[in-house]
A and B are shown apart, each in its own frame.
Chain A
Amino acid sequence: MGTGILGIAASGLNAAQAAIRVTQQNIANVGTDGYRRQELVQSARQPQFSGYGYIGNGVSVDAVRHQYSRFLDSEVLHSESQYARYEAASARSALIDKLLGDDATGLNSVLSGFYSALQEVANDPASSATRQNLLSAGENLAGRFNLLAGQLREQRTAANNEAQHLATRINVLAGQIAQANVTITQNRSASGQAANDLVDARDQLVVELSRLIDVTRQDLPDGSVNVFIGGGQSLVLGQDVRRLNLVANANDPALLDPAINMGFERYGSLIADPAARVVTSGASSLSGRISGGELGGLLEFRDATLMPALRDLDRMALALASAVNTVHRGGLDYALNPGVDFFVNPVVPQGATAGALHLTVTDDSLLDPVGYSISLAGGVYTVTELSTGTATNHASLAAVNAAGFGFSLTAGVPAPANGESWRIGDSARTLAMAIGNTSQIAAAAAAATGPGDNGNALALAALQSTALLNFGGVAFSDTLSAAYNKIVNRTASQASQHDLNRDAFETLRQSAVSAQQSLVGVNLDEEAVNLVRYQQAYQAAARTMQIAASLFDELLNVVR
């Protein structure tokens, strides 16, 4: 009987001690990300029959359990992922929005300055002052195109670098999740109990992963998780992982897309070397299949905001240069010689090519987003669309013009010769003046008899109100400035949409996190109460032990 009394007391003491340790653990981890509040699961031991009934045998500590809700966890995962996506997209679009929309860096003021300068030449065509002013305005306009395109291209490079950096971080996390899977399953099979703190830490890794890329998780009975990305591609399967690498975008070789390796590897090799590399085979592209996390936001920004802006600027520069050049060549300069190109010919001769091709944009919506390379051999023109690398042969320029590339070409002086090649593309960054002398400005119309004629200057100035572009969906619906304003507006709409989404998901994230935390978070006051409660339980158990001891003494005294 005496051992029974002491045994019950000791079990109470143990249970209270364990409960105090759990409480301490909760208090210690109040600030730990991903930590879930733990509690002791205890039950009354199997009672003992003693003739008159069952007598209790004390308490047993069954498990330390942490609180969790799969549903609330998945809400957090989703909202974290979407918040990170829109925050990434919003921060980056804000830069472009500012760049394009700001008067100091935008195109509007230099574009109207250029047309004003043309009007001034028309007002006083023989004046070297107005001609000089036009040269400066042309330089300014070309310079602004260069600046904008340069900035956007830097963003493009940055996007590639960031994609690589993010893919590497994803690899690190994927490796760590797989590693945690191994530890968790091992502990579980050894003890039969889940190691809560390890599970919490692993789940926190999944949350961190979801901030980089949208993930779905699958929980397995052995305690491990499988993680899928990019609409069902497995990233982590138990202890095996697939590495994220990068491949060139199928429609623009200058862009890098995340791609997942075909084959699996053990977490160890990924942790040892998590770097994402640019590969040409063995990985399947996730382009268009990532819709969350910082990586999703980055790609969305790149594909929907950055690249369209850069390509539209290129289209504008191509349309501007070719239209101005065509009119300019049709006029006469100060000395009544035929006009030459005003801007450097956007059909750029390659290598030793001397022959000139003059371009007219016929439908800019058909233009290849990256550009073209054109070569002439054996009288056959080969036109390669640089985005896809598709090459087609054409027996003559007329055949090229009928092929629906969105431009038409005419032979210049000297005429194109076999063995020569040209390139079209990158027009905004390379826009430059072809003339540097005031007398080269062809302000006079072809019929002019003196330098006081302004017919061609008027024709050039009329380009201001000429629809050269097709940004509205209808061929030649937009003037250059209208087209530019559409770029600004589109960028601004996207940036503002990203802001709205970011704010919405921030609210959703906050409410998802607080709903989750209201279940799993530590409340210090609650722990304080628990501490007092278990302290009292401990004291009471100790007291019963003291009583058992004194009963024992009484008994011994009787015998003595």
Chain B
Amino acid sequence: MRIDSMTYYTVSLVGIRDNQNAIARLSQQIATQSNYLAAKDNPLATQKILDLGDRIATRAQYANNQTKAEITLKYESVVLDEIESTLRRARGLLAGISHNADAVTRHTHAEQLRGAFQQLLDLANSRDPSGSYIFSGDRTTTKPFNNAGGGVPPAGAASTYNGSTNLREVEVESGRRVRVNDNLDTVMRAGAGAGTDLLQTLDEAIVRLPLSAPPGAVPDQATLNGYIQTIDTALDSLAGIQYRVAGVRTELADLMVTTNGLQTLEQNALSDLQRVDQAAAIMRLQTRQTSLEAAQQAYALTSGLSLFSFLG
């Protein structure tokens, strides 16, 4: 075949240019550790990478929600445990006294009960680290339980509840929600309104125990047993809440393990898709360098060849 001089001299330029392109691309892949420098390099893989990236971001947010829910519930469970031990202390104080104990003992127990009363009130009005009341439902800025104490014998001061029964759920996985707070009113005022009032009962004990004569008079054994009964009812309700919280925390712990595992899986899948195989890339780079040198050699050799050089 006949070949024209321009083609003859420039044919190796194509090879040089192709090899230079490939080398630039490989260097960039190695430098960025990334297989694809633009979406168009592999549209199918890009779609997978984007979908995976979205899923990883969503899962990271759910993992974050799980951690936050766990922190909230752990905080609540610590407060609930404190409430339980305070109630048990109050029950101990009431069980440890009879209606005919001496005035000093009754005074001392009443004082200690006052401490338990105050502690219970404080615990029921606990706030989380960001300052929200944890037992006021959605009225997080409102102090839920009020009881000034010091009722007029024979009755104790009644409690008021300013919280709400709107409780909060958070999403810990797509479509899966857990409740992160509880209605303590079922403990403090079992069957709110109609039923018993824990703080009122304790206040009644506090104001009546020291009395030596009517109208309050020292509560008789049946009344004392009634106080204890109220505390037991509260402890029962409390246990219900504690079981719920513990159950959710177990669920969250399981979920965190699963989420973590999936995150690792997805991260690995993403990096398999995205990351360049360094060894293979470097080998390809060397091959390309060799063929670039060959093309350059070819150009150097052919460009020097002309019949005119030999004609005298």
Chain A interface (Cβ < 8 Å from any Cβ of B):
30-31, 37, 93-94, 97-98, 100-103, 108-109, 111-112, 115-116, 119-120, 122-127, 129, 444, 447-454, 458, 461-462, 464-465, 481-482, 484-486, 488-489, 491-493, 495-496, 499, 510, 513-514, 517-526, 528-529, 532
Contacts and interface: CB of A to CB of B under 8 A. Distances in A.
A496 B40 contact: yes
B118 interface: no
Contacts of B69: 123
22 contacts: A103-B53, A112-B61, A124-B68, A125-B168, A126-B130, A127-B132, A452-B137, A452-B140, A453-B168, A454-B170, A458-B169, A484-B50, A486-B47, A489-B47, A492-B39, A493-B40, A496-B42, A513-B7, A514-B7, A517-B4, A522-B5, A528-B308
Contacts of A510: 14
Contact of B53 (A100, A108, A450, A532): A108
Nearest to A112: B57
A123 B68 contact: yes
Contacts of B140: 125-126, 450-452
Contacts, number: 189
A518 B136 contact: no
Given A481-B54, A492-B46, A450 B39 contact: no
B2 A97 contact: no
B271 interface: no
A122 B171 contact: yes
Contacts of A492: 38-40, 42-43, 46-47
Contacts of A524: 5, 306-308
A371 B42 CA distance: 33
B146 interface: no
B136 A452 contact: yes
Contacts of A491: 39-40
A122 B61 CA distance: 12
A100 B39 CA distance: 9
A359 to B, nearest CB: 26
A94 B38 CA distance: 8
A518 B3 CA distance: 5
Given A452-B136, A453-B166, A523-B3, 18 more contacts: A31-B6, A37-B4, A109-B57, A116-B61, A119-B65, A449-B166, A450-B138, A450-B139, A450-B166, A454-B168, A488-B46, A489-B44, A492-B47, A514-B7, A518-B4, A521-B5, A522-B4, A525-B306
With most chain B CB atoms within 10 A of its CB, the pick from A98, A450, A489, A520 is A450
A74 B132 CA distance: 80
B100 interface: no
A450 B54 contact: no
Nearest to A532: B311
A262 to B, nearest CB: 40
Contacts of B174: 465
Contacts of A458: 169-171, 177
Contact of A122 (B8, B41, B137, B170): B170
B138 A523 contact: no
A451 B141 contact: yes
A516 to B, nearest CB: 9
B171 A119 contact: yes
B301 interface: no
Nearest to A106: B50
With most chain B CB atoms within 10 A of its CB, the pick from A31, A37, A116, A465 is A116
A115 B307 contact: no
B184 to A, nearest CB: 14
B66 to A, nearest CB: 10
Contacts of A461: 171
Interface string B43-71: 11011001101100110110011001100
A489 B7 contact: no
Interface of B: 1-8, 11, 14, 38-44, 46-47, 50-51, 53-54, 57-58, 60-61, 64-65, 68-69, 130, 132, 136-142, 164, 166, 168-171, 174-175, 177, 306-308, 311
A108 B55 CA distance: 11
A109 B49 CA distance: 13
A94 B169 CA distance: 46
Contacts of A529: 307
Given A126-B132, A510-B14, A98 B5 contact: no
Contacts of A123: 65, 68-69, 170
Contacts of A122: 65, 170-171
Given A449-B166, A514-B7, A489 B58 contact: no
Contacts of B3: 514, 517-518, 521, 523
* Top 3 closest pairs, chain A to chain B, by CB: A521-B4, A101-B39, A450-B139
A529 B166 CA distance: 102
Given A94-B40, A451-B141, A496-B41, A525 B47 contact: no
Contacts of A453: 138, 166, 168
B51 A485 contact: yes
A111 to B, nearest CB: 8
B5 A30 contact: yes
Given A108-B54, A119-B65, A452 B8 contact: no
B38 A523 contact: no
A203 B68 CA distance: 75
A485 B54 contact: yes
Given A449-B164, A450-B139, A528-B308, A108 B50 contact: yes
With most chain B CB atoms within 10 A of its CB, the pick from A461, A481, A482, A532 is A481
A491 B46 CA distance: 11
A120 B177 CA distance: 14
A464 B58 contact: yes
Nearest to B311: A528
Given A112-B57, A481-B54, A528-B308, A523 B8 contact: yes
B4 A448 contact: no
Contacts of B54: 108, 111-112, 481-482, 485
A247 B235 CA distance: 83
A532 B2 CA distance: 19
Contacts of A482: 51, 54
B6 A30 contact: yes
B255 to A, nearest CB: 15
Contacts of B64: 116, 119-120
Contact of B138 (A119, A129, A452, A495): A452
Contact of A495 (B40, B65, B311): B40
A47 to B, nearest CB: 34
A30 B8 CA distance: 12
B1 A518 contact: yes
Nearest to A444: B138
B58 A115 contact: yes
Contacts of A495: 38-40
A463 to B, nearest CB: 12
Contacts of B46: 101, 488-489, 492
